[in-house]
Structure 1
Amino acid sequence: MIGNVKTRMALLDTASQQVPVSITDGIEPERNCYVVSMRTAYSGYALEELKRLHRPLLTWPLKVLAKGADRLFQAAKIDKLVLINNWLLSTNLYSPGWDNTDLGALTDMLRREFPDHGIGFRSLNDFSNQGLRERLGGLGFLSIPSRQIYLFDGQAGPQSPFTRHHSTRIDASLLRRSPYTVVTGAELNAAEFERIEHLYNLLYLKKYSSLNPQYSAHWMECGQRDGWLELRALRNVQGRIDGVVGWFTNSVIVSAPVVGYDTSLPQKIGLYRQLTQLSLQEAAKRQQVLNFSAGAADFKRVRGGQPRIEYSLIYVDHLPWGRRFVWKLLSMLLHRIGVPLMRKLKL
C-alpha cells in the first residue's frame, strides 16, 4: 500500500477514541520512510538534499557531518519507536478529543508495553496543538523540531484573511476560467487511480524526494472508498486527469497529504495553483484551518500562509542513558540551530 514504509501497526483505544499506532524496531531496511523513521527524517533527508546540490567541494564537509549523525542515530536506535496517532501521512491530525485523554496513564501503559522503545507523537504545532504539546512536555516528553509548515486559517469562511491576498485572488480567477473540470474521487475509475499515483510520484518522489511516502493507487482508492481521503482531480477536455489533491480532515483541520500534477505540462497552465486554490476554498467553505504542510515556502507565504514550527514529542526517560543522551542532544541542537535557521531562511 505504501512502498517505502516498513512498520507494524496496532490500534490504541483511549476510551474516548481509537487511533493507529506504528511500531518500528530499528531493524527495518535503511531509509524507511520518515513517517515512521526519525533517522530518515533527520539524517536521510539531509544526505539526499546534499546530493541534489551537485557541488561536492562545497558539500563534502556537511556530508561527512550528516553521515556521522546518521551513524550516531543508528547506534542510539532512534528508530526503535512507537508513534501514537500515526496515520502514515506527512501530517497527523489531532482532534479536540485528545483533551480528554489521560496522557499520564497512557504514557505509563506504553512504558510497560514497550520498555525498550521511544514513545512519540508527530506533527504538533503551537497554533493547533499548543495545549497538547505543553501537557506532553510536562510529562517529560522531549520536544524535537521537525520542519516549518504553513497554515491558512479559514475559520472566518469567505472573509478569511488569505482570501484577500492578491495572489489568492488571481488563482481564484485562474480556477474559474480553467478549461479543466473538477471531479470527485467517487467519479474516478481504476485506470484514473493509476494515473493519480503517477502524478503524485512525479511531484513528491521525482521532483522532491524519494524519501516521501510512496502511496499506491490501491492505497488512494481504499482511502476514497472508506471515507478518510477526499480526492479532487482536474480532468481536461480530452478526459485525462492532469492534477489531483487529496484531503485528510477532522472537525477543525484540513490537510493535503496527496498532491500531484503532470510536471511535463507548461507551467503557465497553473496546475499547482489550481490545486492550491481548491484546498483554500475547501478550508474557507468548512470554516477550518488548512495545514498545507512544508515546502514551496515563498508560494505559500504570498497567498497568506502563516509559518509555524512543527514538532515531534518523544518520551525516552525509561531508556538507557546513552540513548537518552542522543535524543536530548538532537533536541538541543534543533532548537538552538535548526529552528532559527528555518525562520531566518523562511524555509
Structure 2
Amino acid sequence: MMDIKWVHSDDIPEGLVKSFCHLFEATHKEAPIKNVTTKLKIIQVSPTIYFPVTINDTEWNTSFVCSPYTAYIHYAKDEIKRKIKNPLVRSPLLFIIFLISKWFKKGLLNKNVHVNNFLLSTNPYPVWDGATIKQITTFIKKEFPEHAIIFRSLNQYQHTHLLGVFKQENYTLIGSRQVYIFDLPYTDWLQRKNNKLDNKLIKKKELTFIDHTGMAVYLDQALSLYNDLYLKKYSTYNPQFTLRYFEHCYKENMILFQGYKDENNQLKAFSGLFILDQTITSPLVGYDTKAPQKEGLYIHAAQLAILHKFKSGLLANLSSGASGFKRFRGGVASIEYSAIYIKHLPRKRRVIWKLLAIISNKIGVPIIRKYKL
C-alpha cells in the first residue's frame, strides 16, 4: 500500500484538483472567495486520487464550507431570522444559539482539517473504496494532532460503503441535511407530470439557451444572479465568490456554465455544474429573483443540471433545499453526513462533537425525514 503524503499542485496530473489549487495559489490582491479564510494543501491517497485539504483554527466568521461553527451558529441564525417571523418564537431560539456559540468557541469547534474540500456546499467524491482511510487518519493526526478530521458530503445513496468504513475506523457520523439524488432513466423522468408541465413552461417562455461557450460574456451577470439568490435572499455566510473565481472556473473547465437569456440579452437564469468522476453537482445557481414566480426561472436553472445528467449518463446530486420541487421531479431523498475523527482530542472537545452527533442524528435527522425537508 502506498504512503499517504502531501504533494504540490505542480506535481499532480491535470484535472479539477490541480485547477482548483492553482486558483488559490495565484498571487492576487483579491481572494477567490471573499469570505473564506483557510489554508490549503493537497494529499495523495492512492496512485490516482488526490484530495484538496483545508486547515482551520478559529476563523469564526468564515463561510460554512470550512467552518462548522458558521454552519451551526451564523447560518442557523440567518435561517431563523428568515423563516421565523414570530418574535415570541424567534427570540428564545436566537438566545439559545447565542449561549451555544460561547460553548462552541471554548470547545474550538473550528480547529479542524477538512479532507476532499473544494469549498462548495456539496463536495462530490471520486470513485474510491476508502481502503486508505485508516492511513489517512494516522497521517493527518500526526501532522495536525490538535485538529478534528472531517470528511463532508457523504450521503447514504452514494456512499453506503464509505460510511461503513468511516464508522469502522472510529469516525463519528453526524447527519447534516437531506440531499436529492437524480438517478432515474430519462423515459421515467419524462413521464412525470411536473416535468411535462416544466417543459411546456420553458417552451412557452421562449428564452434563448446559452451553452458553456456562449456563457463567456455572461459571467458577470451570472455572479450577480448568484449573489441575489444565495447572499441577499438566504445568507451572507454562503460562499461569496468573486468574478475572478467564475472566470477561472470557466477558463479551466472546472465549472460547466449554462443559462437562459431574454430578448434584451439579459441573463435570466443559469446553472454552474461541478462534475467529478460519476457525480454532477450544481453549486452555482442563479435566476432573476425579481421576476414573478410564474415565469418559472428557477425551473429553467434547475432543469439544466437534470438534463445534463441524462446527456452524460452520470448521477446528479442536487443538494438540499426546494425539497418538494425535487421530489416531484424524480429526486430521491438521501441523508447526508459528515464523518469526523475526534478520538485523539481532549475530552471536553470530544463531548461537544458527541452532543452535536446526538442532537443531529436523534432529533435533526428524524425531523428532516418526517417533514421531507
Q: TM-score range by the shorter chain?
A: over 0.9
Q: In the alignment, is residue 127 of structure 1 matched against residue 153 of structure 2? A: no
353, 359, 364: which one aligns with 1:333: 359
- d(CA) in 2 for partners of 1:285, 1:187: 19
Q: Which residue of 4, 27, 44 corresponds with 2:74?
A: 44
1:102 is matched with 132
Q: How does 1:236-315 map to 2 (within 5 A)?
A: 236-315=262-341
The one-letter amino acid paired with 1:181 is T
Post-superposition, which runs of at least 4 consecutive aligned residues in structure 1 deviate over 3 A?
Answer: none
Please state whether the residue corresponding to 2:158 is helix, strand or coil: coil
Aligned Cα RMSD in Å?
1.5
Equivalences for residues 144-293 of structure 1 within 5 A: 144-154=174-184, 156=185, 158-159=186-187, 161-189=188-216, 192-293=218-319
Whether 1:54 aligns to 2:85 is yes
Letter in 1 for 2:202: L
Aligned to 2:57: 25
CA contact (8 A) 1:152 1:162 kept: no
Q: What is the DSSP-based 3-state SS (H/G/I as helix, E as strand, rest coil) of the residue aligned with 2:70?
A: helix
Query: TM-score of the superposition, structure 2-length normalised?
Result: 0.88
Deviation at 1:189, TM superposition (A): 4.0
Q: Distance in 1 between matches of 2:130 and 2:342?
A: 23
The whole-number CA distance in structure 1 between the counterparts of 2:118 and 2:314 is 20
Greater shift, 245-254 or 312-321, is seen at: 245-254
Secondary structure at the counterpart of residue 185 of structure 1:
coil
Are the aligned partners of 1:151 and 1:289 in contact in 2 as well (CA < 8 Å)?
A: yes
State the SS of the aligned residue for 2:37. coil
Deviation track 1:235-268 (CA, whole Å, cap 9, x = no partner) reads 2122121111000112321110000011112222
Query: Counterpart in 2 of 1:136?
Result: 166
Tell me the CA shift for residue 220 of structure 1. 1.2
Name the amino acid aligned to 2:108: K
Identity %: 36
Deviations 1:75-120 (A, max 9, x none): 1111101000000011001111x21641111110010000000001
Give the residue type in structure 2 aligned to 1:142. T
SS of the aligned residue for 2:240 comes to coil
How many positions carry a matched residue from both structures? 340
Between 138-147 and 260-269, report the one with greater CA deviation. 260-269
Letter paired with 1:39? Y
Query: Please, what TM-score do these two structures have when normalized by structure 1?
Result: 0.94
Equivalent in the alignment of 2:39: 8
Cα distance in 1 between the residues matched to 2:202 and 2:305: 12
Bigger relative contact order, structure 1 or 2 (CA pairs below 8 A, ≥6 apart): 1
SS of equivalent residue, structure 1 residue 249: strand
Deviation at 1:173, TM superposition (A): 2.5
| Paired letter, 1:275 | A
- CA–CA separation in structure 2 for the residues paired with 1:252 and 1:244: 22
